[in-house]
Structure 1
Amino acid sequence: MGHEPITDRAGTLSRRRFTLGAVGATLSGLAGCITRGEDSGLEGAISIDGSNTVFPHGAVVAEEFQWRNNRVEISVQGSGTGAGFQRFCEGETDIQNASREILEGDDDNEAVLCEENGIEYVGLETALDGIAVFVHPDNDLVDCLTVEELEAIWESGSDVDTWSDVRDEWPDEEIELYGRDPASGTFDYFTEALTGEVGNIRSDYSASADTNVIVRGVRGAQYALGFGGAGYYYENEDDLKLLAVDNGDGCVKPSRETVESEEYQPLTRPLYSYFRADAFDRDVVRSFARFFFEEVDGEATDADVVEDDETLTWTQWAARRVGFYGIPDEQVEASSEKLEDAIAEVTE
């Protein structure tokens, strides 16, 4: 089975080969199908699991790395941030993609689970995402909601049932609510950003582990409201209406400019890749981890991804390629330095 990565080579695959709709899919065994690409001499296997939101980013980085190292096998799965951390902290995977930081609180303490199993790790910011708030395209009532209005709608014990409960001038139409389930890192970030407390959310909304289900719910009801990663909106922008969010400085929609500048607040969030420290004993894992922060080559240029006179690393390029946003250059440097320090602790 022939294969080429997501760049601009002749006969390439679509730039949306690994779209945000591919949640739950897997690249397991893909490397065994490669009959083209570059034989660098590097070989070995790497296992990745975690956030189904972050899955497309990890898949694209893995795909590009495998093209340049076609004897490497990388399996990429999207079991969810919570489920992925359970596997990671039990030593079942090398890398954990996460849409939030590892939990260190009193409840569901993932960091303690890792410690109990002797798993040391380093967590690196590798992409940015904006959590989008969206409605049905025929909803002409609203273009922007304040953070206070969003909190009133979503918080636990909310008495907001209709659009008129949000603003008096709006009609008495019931708001059908769709969002991520409590196992999702998106859920954790969204609830904390709006209410100041992870998990502070009303119980009578339609919760799903799959943002595509949320999208279908919102586009099926004129007065529905939902939230999910901004990339999912842009994959379905003909079927949804994107709302701006007013954090006190005016209404702002998530876009490359507003997320990468962190103007879109409070719903701009970092995405993470966690690496098991003991896996750095293997050259293949060290090389793959460093690949995230290496500059892209000439085959990765794309008018939709790379601006004029702009130099991107693979993690920035892949983020934009699948509908996320690139971390700032200073964060690239910080993550790369943090990675090298972690590798040094294992290998020196």
Structure 2
Amino acid sequence: MPTEPIADRAVDRSRRRVLLGAAGATLAGLAGCIARGYESDLEGEIRMDGSNTVLPHGAVVSEEFQWRNNRVQIPVRGSGTGAGFQRFCDGETHVQNASRPIFDDGGEDEGALCTANGIEYVELETALDGLAVFVHPDNDWCDCLTVDELARIWETGSDVERWSGVREGWPDEEIELYGRDPASGTFDYFTENITGEVGNIRSDYSASADTNVIVRGVRGSQYALGFGGAGYYYENEDELELVGVDNGEGCIEPTKATIESGDYEPLTRPLYTYFRADALAREEVRSFARFYFEEIDGEATEADIVEPGESLTWTQWAARRVGYYAIPDDQIDDRRETLAGAIAEVTE
């Protein structure tokens, strides 16, 4: 009988950082080769790829599922949202993690590739993330920026070069800017929601595929400004200062309460899991998909991420376990219905 406690098998925040740094590597040792656990009638391989941001969440859910179904193998990769969609729409993977929706505007995009290859899919929001704006801890003037100010700083052709160009009285020092690179779903979300269009960003900032590089850049200069996932800020909060965002309702910082309530706008973003429709015809795949929205068991309720009297599903639990945030309870039934409809189409 398996006795290893659930908390020892879950990915904590420090381990999440390692996983994010290992983007693109196969995590078979984490979520594909679980040697112990409970036997069931299910067996087979389910291939998962996609966003390195969402990778820790998918890895934890798949690990818990495999623990209960130890003849199912789920190797998990994090080759990036865009690269993952390429594989997904080519039919190479069954599950796609994504930090943004699939590009599907009728052009030569990911949706068109899926259509051309006869790949249908179901899109499910499975977690929430907040994008944080942060500065050096010695920055004692900027504790809040409006969305308009952020747009003026970051948009293409921006003439804001110095802090004094943002607000009168701020230091007449050049702003050193750090952010995600154009291959990132984080980049897509930030630019669309701050500057109004995906890819609308100035060219003279330091771009990186690794948010840890952004963190190091900001903590190395008093006059730096950067953005990245809120989890990275909280892993480095002793070395960074959080900047609140004012979207017209006052200055709000990304926290569990403000992100899960939807108050932290416009930088609360949904994270997605896509399942190939034809793969749902396989019992192990549809059982895995349903597992996301099943209630956690008794061991998991003992974790400190579960509040007294709270009832979570595995996708909500895993989101908090790896430093992200749970989708609201009132959305869980909607996700179950969406999934049930997709399953019915391939099984009836």
TM-score, shorter chain, exceeding 0.5: yes
- Show the counterpart of 1:150: 150
Cα deviation, 1:141-166, whole Å, max 9, x if unaligned, reads: 21111111100000000011111111
Give how far 1:20 is off.
3.9
Give how far 1:28 is off.
1.9
Alignment check: 8 A CA contact 1:20 1:53 kept: no
Cα deviation, 1:236-263, whole Å, max 9, x if unaligned, reads: 2122111110111111000110001100
Alignment check: 8 A CA contact 2:51 2:78 kept: yes
Question: Pairwise mapping of residues 116-131 of structure 1 onto structure 2 (< 5 A)?
Answer: 116-131=116-131
* C-alpha spacing 1:326/1:247, structure 2 compared with 1 (3 Å): same
Moved more, 39-48 or 246-255: 39-48
Give how far 1:36 is off.
2.2
Measure, in 1, the Cα distance between the counterparts of 2:184 and 2:311: 33
- Show the counterpart of 2:71: 71
* C-alpha spacing 1:136/1:166, structure 2 compared with 1 (3 Å): same
Give how far 1:37 is off.
1.2
Alignment check: 8 A CA contact 2:7 2:303 kept: no
Moved more, 206-215 or 268-277: 206-215
* C-alpha spacing 1:31/1:162, structure 2 compared with 1 (3 Å): closer
Alignment check: 8 A CA contact 1:3 1:35 kept: no
Alignment check: 8 A CA contact 2:31 2:59 kept: no
Alignment check: 8 A CA contact 1:22 1:56 kept: yes
Matched residues, number? 344
Alignment check: 8 A CA contact 2:218 2:225 kept: yes
Give how far 1:193 is off.
0.6
Give how far 1:15 is off.
3.0
- Show the counterpart of 1:162: 162
The reply to whether residue 92 of structure 1 matches residue 89 of structure 2 is no
Alignment check: 8 A CA contact 1:136 1:225 kept: yes
The reply to whether residue 306 of structure 1 matches residue 303 of structure 2 is no
Cα deviation, 1:24-72, whole Å, max 9, x if unaligned, reads: 1432254664332111231111111111111111111111111111111
Q: Which of the residues 7, 15, 20 maps onto 2:12?
A: 15
* C-alpha spacing 1:231/1:302, structure 2 compared with 1 (3 Å): farther
Cα deviation, 1:279-300, whole Å, max 9, x if unaligned, reads: 1121111111000000000111
Measure, in 2, the Cα distance between the counterparts of 1:284 and 1:196: 41
Which amino acid in 2 is paired with 1:19? R
- Show the counterpart of 2:248: 248
Provide structure 2 residue ranges, at least 5 long, that are not aligned to the other structure: none
SS in 2 for 1:137: coil
Alignment check: 8 A CA contact 2:106 2:112 kept: no
Alignment check: 8 A CA contact 1:18 1:60 kept: no
Measure, in 2, the Cα distance between the counterparts of 1:57 and 1:29: 16
Measure, in 2, the Cα distance between the counterparts of 1:227 and 1:151: 13
Alignment check: 8 A CA contact 1:121 1:274 kept: yes
Measure, in 1, the Cα distance between the counterparts of 2:224 and 2:270: 27
Question: Pairwise mapping of residues 213-228 of structure 1 onto structure 2 (< 5 A)?
Answer: 213-228=213-228
- Show the counterpart of 1:60: 60
The reply to whether residue 318 of structure 1 matches residue 315 of structure 2 is no
Measure, in 1, the Cα distance between the counterparts of 2:14 and 2:68: 18
- Show the counterpart of 1:192: 192
Moved more, 147-156 or 213-222: 213-222
Q: Give the % identical residues.
A: 72
Which amino acid in 1 is paired with 2:242? L
Alignment check: 8 A CA contact 1:18 1:59 kept: no
Which amino acid in 2 is paired with 1:8? A
Measure, in 1, the Cα distance between the counterparts of 2:108 and 2:268: 24
Provide structure 1 residue ranges, at least 5 long, that are not aligned to the other structure: none
Give how far 1:8 is off.
3.3
Alignment check: 8 A CA contact 2:31 2:62 kept: no
Alignment check: 8 A CA contact 1:30 1:74 kept: no
Measure, in 2, the Cα distance between the counterparts of 1:21 and 1:136: 23
Alignment check: 8 A CA contact 1:21 1:212 kept: no
SS in 2 for 1:192: helix
* C-alpha spacing 1:21/1:172, structure 2 compared with 1 (3 Å): farther
Measure, in 2, the Cα distance between the counterparts of 1:342 and 1:33: 29
SS in 2 for 1:70: coil
Which amino acid in 1 is paired with 2:167? R
Cα deviation, 1:129-180, whole Å, max 9, x if unaligned, reads: 1111111122112111111110000000001111111111011111111111
Which amino acid in 1 is paired with 2:177? L
Which amino acid in 2 is paired with 1:152? R
Give how far 1:107 is off.
5.7
* C-alpha spacing 1:346/1:127, structure 2 compared with 1 (3 Å): same
The CA RMSD over aligned residues, in Å, is: 1.8
Alignment check: 8 A CA contact 2:179 2:228 kept: yes
Structure-1-length-normalised TM-score: 0.94
SS in 1 for 2:57: helix
Alignment check: 8 A CA contact 2:246 2:252 kept: yes
Measure, in 1, the Cα distance between the counterparts of 2:290 and 2:10: 25
* C-alpha spacing 1:4/1:15, structure 2 compared with 1 (3 Å): farther
Measure, in 2, the Cα distance between the counterparts of 1:33 and 1:91: 23
